[in-house]
Structure 1
């Protein structure tokens, strides 16, 4: 990345302990994208890494958020209410006060992070959402649908979904997309292999060109 990109790591206190933000910010950002990780891993997921690269290169400030459970070294994510309770003050801290990030605000993340973004989009007045590997249901349990969470996503929303995702195929997710939402299929399952890098890069480059400014 260019030397003109400001890199910062910031800890934010939340009801569940400190969360950690990894921020990459151009000199004059077009807006802000805040992304959360999944329940089974951190910020090293290939789709999060590519989203950071592509969106920063397109002029957006990108904040990757580590939930308090991960910062504390725990292996298991907390329940959804605790994830939301930590996420909201972290995003609010980024968007208010001295040094605040600019709007429009795009919320998102992968898997569990995408669910958090949907559930909190309203209270945080998100202008758009970017959902990576949205987990529509647990593997093999389509009856335990999370379509009600996807319905909370703001307009516009983009979903990047693997063709063989056991948590919800593109066709399954497409059937529950809310108004103003679009889905882009890419090769791979719920966790993308390195071979999907090119397709994910193309998908996220396309999204970057459509985000509201």
Structure 2
């Protein structure tokens, strides 16, 4: 398995994978983000091959935010999804945290890559304090089941705003609310990764496998 082209790291399950999950990071992060590690561990525990990867801007430089229109990063998402399809005959799930999730959702909306489910953590509905600058124009073109995992204290969008946004998607959606969590989805009691994967498997009904004790 050669993941160098997407700067990816695989979390491999025991036995034949049910499918492949590719997840990427937020604007200030990388594939090493703790949330991505936890999510990939959880997917692997459920029998999926999970890959966390760097977007093109992060492959070019170790620090700093993305720049430009995002077209190059969207191309990087499409590349990761295409690679995932070569690794399985089963379903492919894609998504990411914040900016990475937004880029993935835009790729799926434009149908430049095919997935069976989207999983978006802390989707950045708008910049903090600027609710008029919504980032939802592409959501009506998403035609696959979509899971949103979102903190109730996230300054990039309230749960009420997220419900309105999710309603724009013509496919099934589910919102996983993490009480008290901010944009990083840090939570002292909730198992964010388990709740997210539970919702994804429940919504999509693909590759369902019980969680090991």
Give the TM-score, by structure 1 length: 0.83
1:116-195 mapped onto 2 (5 Å cutoff): 116-121=103-108, 122-177=111-166, 178-179=169-170, 180-187=172-179, 188-193=181-186, 195=188
SS at match of 2:162: helix
Residue 144 of structure 1 deviates from its aligned partner by 1.0
TM-score normalised per structure 2: 0.83
Q: Which residue of 2 aligns with 1:106?
A: 93
Aligned residues: CA RMSD: 2.0
Greater share of strand: 1
Alpha-carbon displacement from aligned partner over 1:140-180 (angstroms, at most 9, x marks no partner): 11111111233343421110000011111111111111231
CA distance in 1, matches of 2:72, 2:32: 22
Q: Which runs of 4 or more aligned residues in structure 1 lie more than 6 Å from their structure 2 counterparts after TM superposition?
A: none
Q: Could you list the per-position Cα deviations for residues 3-27 of structure 1 after superposition, in whole angstroms to 9, with x for gaps in the alignment?
A: xxxxx67211xxxxxx301112333
Query: What's the offset of the Cα at 1:70?
Result: 1.5
Which stretch shows the higher mean deviation, 83-92 or 200-209? 200-209
| Aligned pairs, number | 196
SS at match of 2:114: coil
Residue segments in structure 1 that go unaligned for 5+ positions in a row: 1-7, 13-18
Deviations along 1:28-59, whole A, 9 cap, x unmatched? 11111111101111133333222111111001
